[in-house]
Amino acid sequence: MAYSLEAFCQDTKRMLRDQPGAQGRASVSANLKNLLTDEGFLSTYCGPDAKPGIETVYRDPDVGFNVLVHVYAQGKTGPPHDHGDSWAIYGQAVGHTVMTTWKRLDDHATEGKAKLEEDQTYRLDPGMAGTFEAQDIHSIVITDNCRFVRVTGTDLGTIDTLVFNADDGTVKPGNRL
């Protein structure tokens, strides 16, 4: 049965209002997996003719969540980062993405410095979703011709985020991921 972007956004709004916290985000993640099976959605936003880049396809004026579609012709590796005070749910549409979660080991006492340790690495294949809570540190490896959907709790361009360099132990304000 078809599950449109519009239906997903309406359901997400209801879930986040009715089930605050992790329970609501788990429901959103399950519904994102359903959206990733909708041929109309995939064709429109994630098909072979999709324009490379990041497109915000929905911003909720009431609850504040955002739905973004990421289309990458060429693969890339992103540094460890967080989404500040926002959660994020990634749903894989085409190709795969390798996700790594990180633990921060320092006490946050020295500005510009952070000690990280890799925690877990896993692969998102089409139809799979992964959730990151606020302040969770993660990095991603994107393959060629990769497409995924990211649902965020707010517009990340309006909040402070952090980007980490695990090799030299530095942290700096993010680029509004």
CA geometry: angle 127, 145, 173, nearest 5 deg: 85
* Closest among 145, 33, 129, 146 to 90, alpha carbons compared: 129
Task: Please write the tens of the pLDDT for every residue from 52-84.
Answer: 999 999 999 999 999 999 999 999 999 999 999
Q: For 19-100, where are the alpha helices, taking DSSP H only?
A: 22-35, 39-46
pTM, to two decimals:
0.95
pLDDT of the chain along its 177 residues, tens only? 689 999 999 999 999 999 989 999 999 999 999 999 999 999 999 999 999 999 999 999 999 999 999 999 999 999 999 999 999 999 999 999 999 999 999 999 999 999 999 999 999 999 999 999 999 999 999 999 999 999 999 999 999 999 999 999 999 998 654
Domains and CATH numbers, the chain: 5-173 (2.60.120.10)
In one letter, which amino acid is 29?
Answer: S
Cβ–Cβ < 8 Å for 130, 146: no
125 within 8 A of 174, measured Cβ to Cβ: no
